[in-house]
Amino acid sequence: MEERELLTTLLDIYDQKFLANYLNEEVGSSLCRETINRWMKGKAEPSLTHAEYEALFKLIPQPTVTEENCDFRFIDLFAGIGGIRKGFEAQGGMCVFTSEWNKYSVKTYKANYGNASEHKFNEDIRSITLSDDDAVTEDEAYENIKNHIPPHDVLLAGFPCQPFSIAGVSKKNSLGRAHGFECNTQGTLFFDVARIIAAHRPKAFVLENVKNLKSHDKGKTFKVIMETLDELGYEVADRSFEGKDPKIIDGQHFTPQHRERIVLVGFRKDLDIHHGFTLKDIDKIIPERKPSMGDILDSDVDDKYILTPKLWKYLFDYAQKHKAKGNGFGFGLVNESSIARTLSARYYKDGSEILVDRGWDFNKEFDDANNLVNRPRRLTPLECARLMGFTDKNDEFKIPVSDTQAYKQFGNSVVVPVFAAVAKLMKPYILKAIDADKRGKLAA
């Protein structure tokens, strides 16, 4: 990498001040933000010492799975900070395409995932599916998708939940449509996922969403999704079941956090390899010992994470008011043995769903000076990363954004070990699908 290319790559993730401070700490460099700024504006040619170059190069993550050692290829749509990707990489999958529109999530993603030369990064998926242009025909859209998204075996997508308008599809809109979903799901981001599946026909997919997807818009949303996947020629695992829905998986089996998500796993019907696959089998690979909250929490954190007296008073009074009414609303206080509530994207506002107990005595008056010292605190972003399974106390996961953005990212993400388990269950079927597809093409 040339020096300018190296700096350009890193400035997609970090700012000049961070890089200058990092170099000062790592190699005693006197390089300052202003110098880097002048280089990038073309006012002078970059001039790094060997030590500075080596230190900066270490910030670029290297791919763990490449063409030489990968078992299958996948794409990562609505990728967030790569939680689903991380699970599938652990099973030997290589990511060849990523799409994520949030610029802060993109920074965190690029800081943590090394990409092989085959990888492509895209921001707005609609620029590839052409879903925002009604004049584009199906064939034109599919051709554009094939030109921009590489071939892959598995499609991963944590798409947003949006209602479908399925009533009154006009004849005009349906004329010339080879696929019914082109009308039934238009205007939603699931439409873009369906278009990519129709164009590339991956052997399998994993779609993730909130548990309430099943009841969203009185069940219409889920009904259209399942009908679309069937129309596209895929068998969704555990479509029919008795008792508890195996498609809804709770993260508390893997980390100390109650977090239910619906996971749709599908295999192409024509490959005929889906028989016997069920998400019920995830019970067989739940770890005997999962991390406890004590494993996640740090004993010494910055005072800025302790709630201010004013905010703690507000949350305390709010909880007392609802307790008096017989409601369950209020903050969630955790200790080393707790199972936390679901971390949300709004955690940065007050942290109320998961507050770390620092010895608050509920038997004392609120204004007791000694007790006020023990006000609870928020989780730090690094503790959130551990709670979501992105890292353990090795803390190799990099967080290059502000605390506010980090809280949003982790609150919107998935529990990584859940998807590592899903990937482990799927891998034998993915490999059978790849083999069946090859045999089918040879026969043709």
Catalytic positions, written as ranges = 161
What are 41's two structure tokens? 């504006």
Q: Determine the 3-state secondary structure of 179 from DSSP.
A: coil
Question: For the chain, first and last CA: distance in Å?
Answer: 44
Cβ of 146: how many Cβ atoms within 10 Å?
14
Q: How many residues does the chain have?
A: 444
| Amino acid of residue 408 | K
Q: Are 356 and 334 in contact (CB under 8 A)?
A: yes
Q: How far, in Å, CA of 271 to CA of 273, rounded?
A: 6
What are 176's two structure tokens? 């010339």
Name the residue among 153, 155, 286 with its Cα closest to residue 208: 155
**φ, ψ for residue 155 (rounded to 5)?**
-105, 130
Q: Are 218 and 200 in contact (CB under 8 A)?
A: no
161 Rama sector, left if φ>0, alpha if ψ -120 to 50, beta otherwise = beta
Q: How far, in Å, CA of 179 to CA of 169, rounded?
A: 13
Q: Are 193 and 186 in contact (CB under 8 A)?
A: no
What are 310's two structure tokens? 């004013």
Cβ of 251: how many Cβ atoms within 10 Å?
24
Q: How far, in Å, CA of 386 to CA of 406, rounded?
A: 13
What are the DSSP E strand ranges found in 269-401? Answer: 333-334, 355-356, 377-378
**Locate tokens 């619906």: which residue?**
262
CA triplet 134, 139, 141: central angle to 5 degrees?
A: 55
